[in-house]
Structure 1
Amino acid sequence: MGTTTSTQTPAGTDVPVATLDRARVQLDVSGMSCASCAARVQTALNKLPEVRASVNFGTRVATIEAPAGIDDTVLCDVVRKAGCDASPREAGTARIDDPDADHARSLMLRLAVAAVLFVPLADLSVMFAVVPSTRFTGWQWVLTALAAPVVLWAAWPFHRKALRMARHGGASMETLISVGILSASVWSLYTVFSSDHTVTATGIWQALVGSDAIYFEVAAGVTVFVLAGRYFEARAKSKAGSALRALAELSAKDVTLLLADGSELVIPTDELAEQHRFVVRPGQTIAADGLVVEGSAAVDMSAMTGEAKPQRVHPGDQVIGGTIVLDGRLVVEAAAVGADTRFAGMVRLVEEAQAQKADAQRLADRVSAVFVPCVFVIAALTAVGWLLAGGGANQAVSAALAVLVIACPCALGLATPTAMMVASGRGAQLGIFLKGHRALEATRAVDTVVFDKTGTLTTGRLTVSAVTAEQGWDGEEVLALAAAVEAASEHAVALAISASAPRHAEVEDFRSTPGRGVSGVVGGRAVRVGKPAWIASSGLSPTLTAARRTAESRGETVVFVEVDGQPCGAVAVSDTVKDSAADAVATLHARGLRTVLLTGDNAASAGAVAARVGIDEVIADVLPDGKVDVIEQLREQGRVVAMVGDGINDGPALACADLGMAIGRGTDVAISAADVVLVRDDLTTVPVALGLAAATMRTIKVNLVWAFGYNVAAIPIAAAGLLNPLIAGAAMAFSSFFVVSNSLRLRNFSSVPHHR
Structure 2
Amino acid sequence: MEHQHKKHSEHQNHSHHNHHTHQGHEHQGYGQHGGNPPHGHAHHDHHKMMIEDFKKRFWVSLVISIPVLVLSPMIQDFMGFELVFNGNLYVLFALSSLAFFYGGWPFLKGLKDEVKKGALGMMTLIAVAITVAYAYSTAVVFGLEGKMFFWELVTLIDIMLVGHWIEMKSVLGASKALELLVSMMPSEAYRISGDGSVEKVKLDELQKGDHIQVKPGAQIPADGLIFKGESHLNESMLTGESKPVKKREGDTVIGGAINGNGTLRIEVKGAGKDSYLNKVITMVREAQKTKSKTQNLADRAAKWLTYIALTVGFGTLVVWIALGFDFVYALERMVTVMIISCPHALGLAVPLVVAISTTISAQNGLLIRNRTAFENSRRISIIVFDKTGTLTQGSHEVIRIVPLQDGINERELLRLATAVEQYSEHHIAKGLLRKAKSEGISIPHAEDFKYEPGIGVSAIVEGQKIEAGGNGILKKINRSDTEYTDSSAETKVFFLSNGEIIGFVSFADQIRKASFGAIKTLHKNNIKTLLLTGDSEDVAQDVANRLAMNKFMANVLPHEKQEKLRELQAQGEFVAMAGDGVNDAPALAQADVGIAVGSGADIAAETADIILVNSDPQDIVNLILFGKVTYRKMIQNLIWALGYNVLTIPLAAGVLYSYGFVLEPAIGAIFMILSTIIVALNAQILKNKIKKSQINI
What TM-score do the two structures reach when normalised by structure 1?
Answer: 0.60
Q: 1:109 Cα deviation (Å)?
A: 5.4
Say yes or no: does 1:285 pair with 2:220: yes
Per the alignment, residue 412 of structure 1 pairs with: 346
Aligned to 1:724: 664
CA gap 1:412/1:139 in 2 versus in 1, 3 angstroms? farther
2:160 is aligned, of 206, 226, 240, to 226
2:122 aligned partner: 173
Question: Is 1:617 aligned to 2:557, yes or no?
Answer: no
In structure 1, C-alpha distance between the alignment counterparts of 2:558 and 2:566, rounded to whole Å: 14
- In 2, the alpha carbon distance for the partners of 1:349 and 1:136 equals 55
Superposed CA RMSD: 6.4
Q: Please report how far the alpha carbon of residue 162 of structure 1 lies from its aligned counterpart in structure 2 after TM superposition.
A: 0.8
CA contact under 8 A between 1:450 and 1:644: conserved in structure 2?
Answer: yes
Distance 1:168 1:482, change over 3 A: closer
Determine the structure 1 residue equivalent to 2:44. 97
Query: 2:379 maps to which residue?
Result: 445
Do 2:578 and 2:595's aligned partners in 1 also have CA atoms closer than 8 Å? yes
What residue is the counterpart of 2:108 in the other structure? Answer: 162
CA displacement at 1:404 relative to structure 2: 2.3
Asked whether the equivalents of residues 490 and 507 of structure 2 are also in contact (C-alpha less than 8 Å), the reply is no
Q: Once the two structures are superposed, what CA deviation does each residue of 1:79-117 show, in whole Å capped at 9, x if it has no partner? A: xxxxxxxxxxx9996867254455445544555666688
Shift of 1:230: 1.4
Letter in 2 for 1:724: E
How far does residue 445 in structure 1 lie from its aligned partner after superposition? 2.0
Instruction: Determine whether 1:403 maps to 2:370.
Output: no
Q: How many Å apart are 1:726 and its aligned residue?
A: 0.9
**Distance in 2 between residues matched to 1:272 and 1:603, nearest whole Å:** 48
Match of residue 736, structure 1, among 651, 672, 676: 676
Aligned match for 1:184, one of 120, 127, 133: 133
Q: Secondary structure at the match of 1:401?
A: helix
CA deviations over 1:486-518 (Å, ceiling 9, x no partner) = 9999999999888889999898x996879799x
Residues 730 and 531 from structure 1, CA distance in 2 versus in 1: closer, same or farther, beyond 3 angstroms?
same
1:711-755 CA-to-partner distances (Å, cap 9, x unmatched) read 366445434483321122233234435545665675669968879
Q: CA deviation at 1:395?
A: 1.6
| Aligned length in residues | 626
Distance 1:228 1:501, change over 3 A: farther
Q: Distance in 1 between matches of 2:243 and 2:448?
A: 15
Q: 1:676-724: CA deviations, max 9, x gaps?
A: 7879986446445433422432342243345446436644543448332
> 8 Å contact 2:398–2:507 — kept in the other structure?
yes
- Mapped to 2, the partners of 1:327 and 1:102 lie a distance apart of 43
**Percentage identity across paired residues of the two chains:** 29
Instruction: Evaluate the alpha carbon distance shift between residue 578 and residue 112 of structure 1 in structure 2; reply closer, same or farther with a 3 A threshold.
Output: farther
Q: 2:76 aligns with which of 128, 150, 165?
A: 128
Once residues 446 and 586 of structure 1 are traced to their aligned partners in structure 2, the CA distance between those partners, rounded to angstroms, is: 16
Amino acid in the other structure paired with 1:417: P
> Does structure 2 retain, via aligned residues, the 8 Å contact 1:307–1:601?
no
Matches of 1:731 and 1:192 in 2, distance apart?
26
Structure 1 residues 287 and 419: CA distance shift in structure 2, 3 A: closer
Mark the CA change 1:100 to 1:223 in structure 2 (over 3 Å): closer, same or farther.
same
- The residue type paired with residue 587 of structure 1 is T
Whether 1:363 aligns to 2:297 is yes
1:308-319 paired onto structure 2 within 5 Å: 312=246, 314-316=248-250
CA–CA separation in structure 1 for the residues paired with 2:371 and 2:601: 20
CA 1:244–1:96 in structure 2 vs 1: closer, same or farther (change >3 Å)?
Answer: farther
Query: 1:151·1:223 contact (CA, 8 Å) conserved in 2?
Result: no
CA distance in 2, matches of 1:436, 1:475: 52
Distance 1:337 1:689 in 2: 33
Q: Deviations over 1:188-240 (max 9, x none)?
A: 577689899xxxxxxxxxxxxxxx84534423332333233213321333245
SS of equivalent to 1:97? helix
Contact 1:451 1:457 in 2 (8 A): yes
Q: For residues 704-719 of structure 1, what are the structure 2 equivalents within 5 Å? A: 704-708=638-642, 710-711=644-645, 714-719=648-653
Change (3 A) 1:648 1:275: same
Q: Report if the CA contact (8 A) 2:170-2:354 is conserved.
A: no
* Greater RCO (CA < 8 Å, at least 6 residues apart): 2
Q: CA offset at residue 632 of structure 1?
A: 7.5
Q: Which residue type is aligned with residue 553 of structure 2?
A: E
Q: Does 1:690 align with 2:639?
A: no
| Whole-Å separation in 2 of the counterparts to 1:681 and 1:609 | 18
Distance 1:706 1:117, change over 3 A: same
* C-alpha contact (below 8 Å) 2:536/2:554 kept by paired residues: no
Give the whole-Å Cα distance in 2 for the aligned partners of 1:320 and 1:247. Answer: 13
CA distance in 2, matches of 1:412, 1:94: 32
Once the two structures are TM-superposed, the CA of residue 172 in structure 1 deviates from its matched residue by 5.3
Q: Displacement, 1:315?
A: 4.6
**Which residue does the alignment assign to 2:511?**
577
SS of aligned partner of 2:529: strand
Letter in 2 for 1:595: T
Q: Does the aligned pair in 1 maintain the 2:229–2:248 contact within 8 Å? A: yes
CA distance in 1, matches of 2:561, 2:287: 12
- Hey, what does 1:236 align to over in structure 2? 170
Report 1:19-418 matches (<5 A): 97-108=44-55, 110-111=57-58, 128-130=76-78, 134-138=81-85, 141=88, 152-153=98-99, 156-163=102-109, 165-166=111-112, 170=116, 173-181=122-130, 183-184=132-133, 213=147, 215-239=149-173, 241=175, 245=179, 256-267=190-201, 272=206, 275-280=209-214, 283-285=218-220, 287-288=222-223, 292-298=226-232, 312=246, 314-316=248-250, 326=260, 328-333=262-267, 339=273, 362-366=296-300, 368-369=302-303, 371-372=305-306, 375-376=309-310, 378-380=312-314, 382-383=316-317, 386=320, 391-418=325-352
CA displacement at 1:581 relative to structure 2: 0.5
Contact 2:167–2:354 (8 Å) recurs in 1: no
Q: Secondary structure at the match of 1:262?
A: coil
Q: Return closer, same or farther for 1:679/1:156 CA change in 2, 3 Å cut-off.
A: farther
Gaps of 5+ in 1: 1-89, 197-211, 518-529
Does the CA-based 8 Å contact 1:95-1:245 persist in structure 2? Answer: no
Q: Give secondary structure in 1 for the equivalent of 2:331.
A: helix
